[in-house]
Amino acid sequence: MSELWEGIAQAFWLVVTLDSDLVEITLRSLRVTLTALVVASLIALPLAAVLAVRRFRLRRATIAVLNALMGLPPVVVGLVVYILLSRSGPFGVFGLLFTPTAMIIAQVIIIVPLIASIAHQSLRELWSDYHDLLISLHTTQAQRIKTLLWDGRRALLTAALAGFGRAIGEVGAIMVVGGNIDHHTRVLTTAIALETGKGAFALALGLGFVLIGLAVAVNLCIHWLGQTERTGRW
Amino acid sequence: MTLLPLIAKGATLRRRGKVLIGPVDLRLEGQGITAVIGPNGAGKTSLLKMLHGIVRLNGGSVTWNCPMAEAQERQAFVFQQPVMMRRSVLDNVAYPLRLIGVSRGEARARAMDWVERIGLSAAAERSATVLSGGERQKLALARALIRKPEVLFLDEPCASLDGRATREIEALLQEAAADGTRLVMSTHNLGQATRLATEIILVARGQIQEHQPAAAFFAGPNTDEGRAFLRGDIIE
């Protein structure tokens, strides 16, 4: 129990003194996760809209696969990305292994199915509401997708936040492909794993509290920015 | 080139092996308001959707006096349960203009004229999803009319509305008809058909039973179904 209080005190102290290591690790965590979130959203949201609007032969199979991939084990993703990016792998020539870019790639692979599946559920309901109107207005597929993405933006924000939550707390894959290199690929989660391994529980807890605070702050921030309706006005 | 006449030849719509409407042979032309009347489940909505082209025919044809793609751009449809997009009232009305490439500013300016006309200017920036039933129907009507369609289909536009809202909707419909839009509306309100219609189509059991000028129909229907409907008998 004393370690918990010590952790809280240490977290408080790290934040108040703007510890340079903490700031560096936190900013790297944010940069990697937010970049992965943007890239994943650019892939997942249009994919979700296409799955809601279009009827094609492998649609059901695609949805089933996406749903199944929500539970993708991060370590396995890390392993596959590692093999692909390693010197002997097909993308080894780019020299991306043990860089933040490799961590972003792994996170994108992990959160695309999650964002796409949640977004698809929302957009499918919206499409069933809008179907008759958009058909009667003789809209093109592109116009339908654009309309659904715009009008469903609040629900899509929730999908994106779920992706952010998964990515910011992810440790297995980024440990494998990032290598937890100090001042290069170390992020909050890998730093926590390292400090725990070293037995520095107070510091690990302190970093943990910072991570939780960061996740909550970013969630609140995105919610506030994405608020489309304020006091009943749009 | 005018959009009308609309000609349906043997047009049939089936679902799960059951004929919903058809075969329909019909010619629509000229001006005015056509009321499609008939008992519940007769096929009125199916007939309108079939003529508008939002359901795939299982047989026969529906043709306009111009290519189908062009015809689709020059007509509109108002549903019994109006679809409210998750946008402001103003953006809902402006939406059809945005689809054809009108700039946001111009679309909103033109939409504002309509929003004022339907008496919703105070709610212009509010979410359309919080409107009452009558307000929703007026918004749907404005959204349908903003592109000045030559033909407007309406599916029970005043169903479950109170007297005041019904009167407002009917006034808008009469204005639209006076402006040259050909209206085809389903209703099972005979009073409304009497007030508005210049032409009557009676549908029963998935078939058009009568199609004639309103005055002639109300003076004396040609069929047993027509007479029974006017008497208020139950038609199965």
Name every chain A residue with its beta carbon within 8 A of the beta carbon of B51: none
Residue B34 falls inside a structural domain: yes
Give the HSE-up count for residue B235: Cα atoms under 13 Å, Cβ half-sphere. Answer: 25
* Any domain includes B156: yes
Backbone angles phi, psi at B125, to 5 degrees: -95, 5
Handedness of CA A53, A58, A60, A63 (dihedral sign): negative
Residue B96: alpha-carbon gap to chain centroid: 17
Which chain A residue shows the shortest CA-CA distance from B91?
A: A234
Tokens of A85: 């990016």
Nearest to B77 among A129, A136, A139 (CB): A136
Separation of first and last alpha carbons in chain B: 41
Selection from A181, A203, A184 nearest residue A211 by Cα: A203
Instruction: Note down the domain range covering A150.
Output: 2-231
**Residue B72's CATH number:** 3.40.50.300
Write down the pLDDT at residue B235.
77
**pTM of the prediction?**
0.86
| Average pLDDT rounded to a whole number, residues B86-101 | 96
- The DSSP letter of residue A230 is B
- Note the pLDDT tens digit of each residue in A24-53: 999 999 999 999 999 999 999 999 999 999
* Residue A18 or B175, more confident: B175
ipTM of the complex: 0.89
Any domain includes B121: no
Give CA–CA dist B154/B35, Å, rounded. 9
Alpha-carbon gap, residue B175 to A177, rounded angstroms? 68
- CATH number of the structural domain spanning residue A135: 1.10.3720.10
The boundaries of the domain holding residue B64 are 6-84+131-231
User: Number of structural domains, chain B?
Assistant: 1
Q: Which of B86, B152, B155 to substitute to test the interface with A, most A CBs within 10 Å?
A: B86
Query: Rounded CA gap, B139 and B149, in Å?
Result: 16
| Cβ–Cβ < 8 Å for B96, B142 | no
pLDDT band at A233 (very low <50, low <70, confident <90, very high): very low
**Is residue B90 a part of any domain in this protein?**
no
CB contact under 8 A, B79 and A132: yes
Is B88 within 8 Å of A151 when comparing Cβ atoms?
no
CA max distance for chain B: 55
CB B226 within 8 A of CB B202: yes
Tell me the residue type at A66: L
pLDDT tens-digit map of A109-120: 999 999 999 999
Q: Select from B72, B76, B86 the Cβ nearest to the Cβ of A151.
A: B86
Q: Which of chain A's residues have a Cβ under 8 Å away from the Cβ of B76?
A: 136-137
